[in-house]
Structure 1
Amino acid sequence: MDASRGIGTFGIWDYVVFAAMLVISAVIGIYYAFAGNSQHTSKEFLMGGRSMNPVPVALSLTASFMSAVTVLGTPTDVYRFGVIFSLFGITYFLVVVISAEVFLPVFYRLGITSTYEYLELRFNRYVRLCGTIFYIVQTVLYTGIVIYAPALALNQVTGLHLWGAVVATGVVCTFYCTLGGLKAVVWTDVFQVGIMLAGFLSVFIRATVVQGGINTILNDAYKGGRLNFWNFDPNPLQRHTFWTIIIGGTFTWTSVYGVNQSQVQRYIACKSRFHAKLSLYINLVGLWIILILSVLCGLALYSRYHDCDPWTDKKVSAPDQLMPYLVLDILQDYPGLPGLFVACAYSGTLSTVSSSINALAAVTVEDLVKPNFRSLSERCLSWISQGTSVLFGVLCIGMAALASLMGSVLQAALSIFGIVGGPLLGLFALGILIPFANSTGALTGLLAGFVVSLWVGIGAQLYPPPPERSMPLSLETYGCNSTHNGSNWMTTTEIPFSTSAFQVNNVVRTPLMDNWYSLSYLYFSTLGTLIALFVGMLVSLPTGGRKQNIDGRFLLTKEDILFKCDIFKKKKHVLSYKSHTVEDGGTDNPAFNHIELNLTDQSGKINGTHL
């Protein structure tokens, strides 16, 4: 690479492309606000009338999963640590199968809007309230960071106005969520996933041309040790190995796809359970495509800068600025294409933020408003749903402002997202898979899992793992024409996993720091899930768990597992759940009596005569 060649700047056409993406997203919201006057009920606003088709839902799930943090971070991870990240493709398959075959059947059968309704039906109101609070705090914090972190990276490289981008993102998301509800969220996600694909493709195709072909990119990656597909070291302290990615990654992302409101809300809005499952499996293909493109972009990034790392050479101040830097380097002669990539990154932000705002509104209405104000009409609940969308939109923008003040703890806050998700996954697994689990065990398990995962998470921020645990690959600068003390130089830099303001430096490392606090970040969620499960079971047994008479609808049953086997024999069974007649349920068990009459007999088994 010729280090003397400067990178481009963000021009007028780039702003036009970026603005066009925001405008089209807003127009979709306006369309669904007025098309057919469809927002008169909270169910229509929050669940799209439970009439969504699987393909747009699948694309929406893919789009919201790939936040701007992922768009900017995945190529950087490949650049720094190699293509072992591509093993997440196996993880995604396991996550989708578990979500579709274990969690989806139970949630869909009950016709719930908020996943936390299930916790009250299965356990009690206090367990539901704890789950709701955990989710709201986690999601608001994470969403604020998703807005701010990419804005900061893009601002420092492209010059795109930081707070203009932050406020524009928050306002546009809030606007179309409030006007159009879930349908607007889903269809804007469909548009935005197209933008993400176009952005990745434009970067990779141009990089391939600039670098002289795909063979050059692969050769550079091979020489730099980046083609490290396999590492079967069972050590749980290594950052990325086959086992940490497959086991830890499966737990981490199942907490998102299996029980997280923002994902579950969309696939249970499909018109039938078969369509809901189909949306998850189509989404898997989308995840694989995005993963492949982001890994290829990471290899192209390394090929371009294999002899002159911009981060080590102080051209950028943080690793997540490398992709925007590459874009302005190789696409500077193509007006509008840098803007397309920025639109790609912000499409990830918009899709994640919009789904979060809509999910937060659903959880607030279903878990906090309905149980305490039973007399409210559907029209009134619809207005409240829209009002809470505005409220959470403002809160997320405010959280982005707070994130700017604690920029050194951004990585810590992102870790908290996984730390909270693990115990919540354990809580739902207790309810669905363990018949003898009771409310005492569930609450104790949730708190125990959270305390332990929070302990190791905070410890990892205070005392980050040494380089031999994270295994960063070499970064070289001999091609930069930079001189230090009169000679060319080469260096290996460790990526700062923890940039916490509370990081403790210059301390004598203890076995606790080198072992417990060096646990792979992918195992934080795994640890929280397993502790919640085991503690929940141990506490449930001596506190009367085996004496319970649990309705079979709240558990994973044999019929759920065999559902796919008779899909072609019983067509009515496939479409049996298309009419969710839940008007104001979700507050306590009696509110679901009408579902029980229609869907179950006295033993809790599926009654085919009613289907």
Structure 2
Amino acid sequence: MSAGEVASFTIIDYVVFALVLVISAAIGIYYGFKDGGQQTTQKFLMADRSMRFFAVGFSLLASWMSAIALLGTPAECYLFGTEFWVVILSYPLMTMLTAHCYIPVFYRLKLTSVYEYLELRFSILVRVIATGAFIFYMVMYMSVVLYAPALALNAVTGLSLYGSIVGIGLVCTFYTSLGGLKAVIWTDVFQSCIMFIGLLTIIIQGSVALDGFGNIWEINKQNGRINTWDFSVDITNRHTVWNLIIGGTFTWLGIFGCNQASVQRYLSCPTLRDAKLSLYFNLPLMSLLISLTMMCGLVIFAMYADCDPIKAGYVSKADQLLPFYVMDQLGFIKGLPGLFVAAIFSGALSTVSSGLNSLAAVTLEDVIKPFQRGRNMAFLPDPTATLVTKILACCYGVVAIGMAFASSKLGPVLQVALSLLGVIGGPILGVYSLGLFFPWANKWGGLIGLLSGFGLSFWISIGAYFYPPTNPTLPTSVDGCYESENATFTTMTMISTAVPTAGPPDPPIADLYHVSYMWYSAIGCLTVVVVGLITSFITGRTDPKEVNPKLISPIVETVFCCMPESWRETVRCGVEFGYDDDLKEEENASGDYSGREEDQRKINEKLELHIMNGVDTHL
């Protein structure tokens, strides 16, 4: 093999690729005009609360396990082996906690923005800080997701990297702003199917070419790639069983438990039961997708065990390995490279469209409406508010495109994405957990705890930038490469590593910066909870009887449902729930919410009155 012999895109590949774009855009156009179009905020932002669980389950998958997973996970497996595979063991725990501890509260309140909860539970300031952090995080995350498929396109087609970023961003912005959440969810379903087809094609072809997947596994085993079970308790180890399961649970809980993009999908379901089913439907899909991407990494290493494309100079980054493999090994089958690029593109479209829709919702509910309320201004009429959200979606699309140009400097897409999720998502998860599970927490505990969580998380992540840990990759070889004047043999770049140079030693505090990025979310979350509780007790804890039980997680009623009432009273910590029948009704088989519309109307009136009066304590 030599550089320059890799196949290039054909007209058939471009047709397959373009077809995916056309179908995605057509879905947006269809829902943009169906039944009078997206003329209300309930339709545009909440899909009229009519989505079924399987569609939402696919949408959750596509939103968070997309281009980053497709490109980053095979590269992770190629460089470090199978240790990251253990992360799928964190998914069941995350799913159960989200379904039974977080979703019931948000669903019962029927809020458009999840950050409204923070004002109801703590104060407007806590809500504003969390909203700002989410907007910053989501824009950064979308920029990474835009960059990833553009990198793939650049590697396999020669198209301009930045031209691809603009193209992806514009297509996604178009169908999101036109078709709303319903278009986003149904395009997610279509794009998820494309992703699975693309991955299966790679694995099947690789198994045929390398005499079966058993042989692929053996080649990886002989080269030290099958290293799944590392039970080390050293928190500075990049990946271990403990940080992947425990740290992974916190990381994904921050995404699925209280992230606006996820919660917005749960609230688009007609019943609480459907919302929970969407999570349980998503669970095997996530596990399958990660498993397929890890298997792709094994296939790539087995194919290039004697000729590392990075050392040989055929690709410049590990994230380009999968597209390089596709063009090198599948390029002779016309249309397959196009299908692969379409799969990567689909992953990016789904994530960015979800981000744009959630950012529009948050900006309307948490920025524009509070601004109007603070100045005693009349709220925008619903048709006008809908138009504003569409304009906001377009504006955020332009911002994400601009930020994507800087993403090439951030490093491997998988680690960058998970680090962002931990640094920002961890403290936000912490403040929600503080409010949902600890009725003694007051507004000062929520505020000081959230600021402390952000402070420590950013301190560690910034320190890791200046004093990066050394995480050497597994050895590779170029002994089997064909000699070529164009091939340059260089030392593989180590992810998040520092090149040893003569100089002063790292300060002792650098050990803190070397903690695995998988612990970022747990550190941020626990800091918020601990500091928040201490602050609350110092400043005068809240009497649990004064807390609106609608703002506290009903997990006590679920976990201790078989206990005697006297015991349950104790574990409620003094919170006077008083709606056991309400809980039972929402947990029953039908899950039908329609019979409680009047009850919910009264709840919403009380919550709205609470906000309008500017109260920042508790109901």
The two structures have a TM-score, normalised by structure 1, of 0.89
Counterpart for residue 478 of structure 2: 477
Distance 1:511 1:157 in 2: 44
The change in CA–CA distance for 1:229 and 1:403 in structure 2 (over 3 A counts) is closer
Counterpart residue identity of residue 240, structure 1: H
CA displacement at 1:456 relative to structure 2: 0.9
Distance 1:297 1:482 in 2: 27
- Residues 325-384 of structure 1: CA deviation (Å, up to 9, x unaligned): 100011111111011111111111101000000000010111112223343221221111
CA displacement at 1:163 relative to structure 2: 3.0
2:28–2:176: 8 Å Cα contact kept in structure 1?
yes
Counterpart for residue 574 of structure 2: none
CA displacement at 1:588 relative to structure 2: 8.4
Q: Is 1:397 aligned to 2:401, yes or no?
A: yes
Deviates more, 1:583-592 or 1:242-251: 583-592
Counterpart for residue 320 of structure 1: 319
The change in CA–CA distance for 1:203 and 1:572 in structure 2 (over 3 A counts) is closer
Q: Is 1:127 aligned to 2:126, yes or no?
A: yes
Counterpart for residue 359 of structure 1: 358
The change in CA–CA distance for 1:514 and 1:46 in structure 2 (over 3 A counts) is same
**Residue aligned with 2:535, SS:** helix
CA displacement at 1:546 relative to structure 2: 3.2
The change in CA–CA distance for 1:495 and 1:377 in structure 2 (over 3 A counts) is same
The change in CA–CA distance for 1:77 and 1:584 in structure 2 (over 3 A counts) is farther
Distance 2:606 2:209 in 1: 62
Counterpart for residue 554 of structure 1: 551
TM alignment of 1:304-453, pairs within 5 A: 304-373=303-372, 374-403=378-407, 406=409, 415-453=419-457
Distance 2:285 2:199 in 1: 13
The change in CA–CA distance for 1:579 and 1:218 in structure 2 (over 3 A counts) is farther
Counterpart for residue 589 of structure 1: 607
TM alignment of 1:517-528, pairs within 5 A: 517-528=513-524
2:273–2:589: 8 Å Cα contact kept in structure 1?
no
**Residue aligned with 2:231, SS:** coil
CA displacement at 1:234 relative to structure 2: 0.9
Q: Is 1:535 aligned to 2:553, yes or no?
A: no
Counterpart residue identity of residue 438, structure 1: N
TM alignment of 1:82-121, pairs within 5 A: 82-121=81-120
2:199–2:296: 8 Å Cα contact kept in structure 1?
yes
**Residue aligned with 1:372, SS:** helix
Counterpart residue identity of residue 418, structure 1: G
CA displacement at 1:150 relative to structure 2: 3.1
Counterpart for residue 59 of structure 1: 58
Counterpart for residue 597 of structure 1: none
CA displacement at 1:158 relative to structure 2: 3.0
1:252–1:418: 8 Å Cα contact kept in structure 2?
yes
Q: Is 1:171 aligned to 2:167, yes or no?
A: no
Distance 1:194 1:201 in 2: 11
Counterpart residue identity of residue 446, structure 1: L
1:475–1:492: 8 Å Cα contact kept in structure 2?
no
1:262–1:359: 8 Å Cα contact kept in structure 2?
yes
Distance 1:324 1:409 in 2: 15
CA displacement at 1:284 relative to structure 2: 0.6
CA displacement at 1:417 relative to structure 2: 3.9
CA displacement at 1:483 relative to structure 2: 9.1
Deviates more, 1:580-589 or 1:179-188: 580-589
Counterpart residue identity of residue 390, structure 1: C
Distance 1:584 1:182 in 2: 27
CA displacement at 1:482 relative to structure 2: 4.6
Counterpart for residue 267 of structure 1: 266
2:422–2:522: 8 Å Cα contact kept in structure 1?
no
Counterpart residue identity of residue 444, structure 2: T
Distance 1:508 1:158 in 2: 45
CA displacement at 1:7 relative to structure 2: 1.7
2:423–2:520: 8 Å Cα contact kept in structure 1?
yes
The two structures have a TM-score, normalised by structure 2, of 0.88
Counterpart for residue 296 of structure 1: 295
Counterpart for residue 600 of structure 1: none
2:91–2:283: 8 Å Cα contact kept in structure 1?
yes
1:217–1:300: 8 Å Cα contact kept in structure 2?
yes
Counterpart for residue 463 of structure 1: 467
Counterpart for residue 240 of structure 2: 241
Deviates more, 1:12-21 or 1:125-134: 12-21
- Residues 564-588 of structure 1: CA deviation (Å, up to 9, x unaligned): 9967995565546885998999898
Distance 2:134 2:249 in 1: 20
Distance 1:572 1:308 in 2: 58
The change in CA–CA distance for 1:403 and 1:74 in structure 2 (over 3 A counts) is closer
Counterpart residue identity of residue 119, structure 1: L
The change in CA–CA distance for 1:101 and 1:580 in structure 2 (over 3 A counts) is farther
Distance 1:180 1:585 in 2: 30
Counterpart residue identity of residue 291, structure 1: I
- Residues 96-154 of structure 1: CA deviation (Å, up to 9, x unaligned): 11111111011001001111010011111111111111100111122112112331343
CA displacement at 1:412 relative to structure 2: 5.9
**Residue aligned with 2:371, SS:** coil
CA displacement at 1:490 relative to structure 2: 9.9
Q: Is 1:77 aligned to 2:81, yes or no?
A: no
CA displacement at 1:421 relative to structure 2: 0.8
Deviates more, 1:511-520 or 1:536-545: 511-520
1:367–1:587: 8 Å Cα contact kept in structure 2?
no
TM alignment of 1:178-197, pairs within 5 A: 178-197=177-196
Distance 1:437 1:458 in 2: 30
Deviates more, 1:154-163 or 1:330-339: 154-163
**Residue aligned with 2:515, SS:** coil
1:115–1:259: 8 Å Cα contact kept in structure 2?
yes
CA RMSD of superposed structures (Å): 3.0
The change in CA–CA distance for 1:251 and 1:365 in structure 2 (over 3 A counts) is same
2:53–2:277: 8 Å Cα contact kept in structure 1?
yes
**Residue aligned with 2:475, SS:** coil
The change in CA–CA distance for 1:489 and 1:121 in structure 2 (over 3 A counts) is closer
